[in-house]
Homo-oligomer: A and B are copies of this chain.
Amino acid sequence: MNDPRVLKVRPTADTYAWTFGGSAPIARIAPGTVLDLFTEDCFAGRVTSEKTLVSEVCTFPFLNPQTGPFYVDGAEPGDTLAVHFVSIEPARDWAASTTVPLFGALTSTHATASLQPPLPETVWIWQLDRERRTCLFTGRDSPIRAELPMDPMHGTVGVAPANLEVRSALVPDAHGGNLDTPEMRTGATCYLGVNVAGGLVSLGDGHARQGEGETCGVAVECAMNTVVVVELLKGVATPWPRLESDTHLISTGSARPLEDAFRIAQLDLVQWLVRDYGFSAMDAYQFLSQAVESPLANVCDTNYTAVAKVRKDWLPAPVAPVHGGLHDHLREFAATLR
C-alpha cells in the first residue's frame, strides 16, 4: 500500500506499548488517517514451538504488545474514536496457543483460588493456510488433526482509560483493551469513548481465530498485518466499547461476575436503540429480549467480556443515521484502498 493517505508503522522491539495509558504516543495523526500496522502476537513472538513455554520465555508484564498508541488530533474527553478494520492478515503461516498455569476458564486461577495444582502447561502450534483460509489443529497427546476456518481478529483495541489510570494491555474494561471478541474482524467499526486528549489508541493481540469465551484463555495467537482507518466523532460519548458491522449493532460489557458483563452490554444496547432508533427504554428492553444475540467474548481475562448484538435489518428505520452513517462511509472508503 503506497497510498499517501496511509501511515505505515512497523514497530521495533522497544517501541511496543504494554499498557493503555501511561505510554507516550508513537505518532500524531489526523482524523481519517489510514494506519497500515504490524502487530506482534500476545507472546511478543517468543512462543515459537511446542517447547517454548510462556512461563520460561515470557516475562511479566511484557505480554500482549500493543502497536501504538496514536494521538488523534482534536480528540478530547467526551468524543468518540472510530476504528474501522479494513483488513487483518496473518503475518506468518503458523500461530501458537497454550495453556498458562492458573489462567483460563477451566482451572482455578489467582482469583478463583484453590489448593489444587495447576493444569499442565502445553503449547499447540497451529498451521495457517493463508490461501485456503484455514487453521490446522494438531493434537498433542491424541492423534487428531482438524481444520477450522481462518477468521482473523484483534483481541485488543483500546484507548487510554479514565480516572488517571494506566491498565495492563491484558485488561478489558470501559476503555476497550483486551476484549477478546471475535466481532473485532475485518469490516467492523469499533467505537471507543475518549478519556484523555488525543485518545491514545493502540491495538494488538491478533488471533487467526478464537472461540466464543476464549475458554483456555489463549486464542490462535498470530502476528498480523492490519489496516485500519481512525476517525473522530466530536461530541459523541461512548461509555462502553461498541462495534458496528454491515449487519449488526454490537455492544460490549466487561466486568465480573459474568452476569454484570452481560448486564452492561444489554443495557448499553437498550440505550443505543433509545438514542438512535426512537425506542422508549421499556420498549427497547422488551424488543431486545426477543431479538438479541448474546455470544460471549472472553471468560478468562481480568474482567470477563460479554457481547450483545442485534441485526440492523430487524430494526425500524433510525431516527437519524447512526453516527451520520459513518460505518457505511468507512466501508466505501476502505474499498478504495484495495
Write the residues of chain A forming the contact surface with B, with a CB cutoff of 8 angstroms.
18-19, 21-22, 60-61, 97, 99, 105-108, 110-120, 122, 124, 126, 135, 137, 139-148, 162-168, 170, 209-220, 253, 255-260, 262-264, 266-267, 270, 277-283, 285-296, 299, 304, 306, 308, 314-316
Contacts and interface: CB of A to CB of B under 8 A. Distances in A.
Contact of A260 (B107, B112, B141, B296): B112
A278 B168 CA distance: 37
Given A116-B118, A282-B140, A294 B166 contact: no
A211 B286 CA distance: 10
Contacts of A280: 139-142
B212 A293 contact: yes
Given A115-B281, A142-B278, A164-B166, A295 B292 contact: no
A104 to B, nearest CB: 8
A258 B258 contact: yes
A198 to B, nearest CB: 18
27 contacts: A99-B286, A105-B259, A113-B253, A114-B116, A115-B119, A126-B290, A139-B280, A139-B287, A144-B279, A144-B316, A145-B316, A146-B314, A148-B290, A164-B168, A210-B289, A211-B290, A215-B285, A216-B286, A219-B289, A256-B260, A257-B257, A258-B258, A258-B259, A259-B299, A293-B295, A294-B296, A295-B296
A143 B277 CA distance: 11
A179 to B, nearest CB: 15
Q: List the 8 closest A-B pairs by CB distance, nearest first.
A: A257-B257, A212-B294, A258-B258, A166-B166, A211-B292, A61-B163, A216-B289, A139-B283
Contacts of A257: 256-259
A108 B99 contact: no
A115 B282 CA distance: 8
B146 A282 contact: no
Nearest to A315: B146
A167 B113 CA distance: 23
Contacts of A99: 282, 285-286
A295 B212 CA distance: 8
A146 B279 CA distance: 11
B289 A113 contact: no
Contact of A19 (B111, B139, B165, B314): B165
A204 to B, nearest CB: 15
B259 A97 contact: no
Given A260-B112, A294-B295, A295-B295, A120 B282 contact: yes
A110 B268 CA distance: 11
A146 B310 CA distance: 13
B289 A21 contact: no
Contacts of A164: 18-19, 22, 61, 166, 168
B137 A266 contact: no
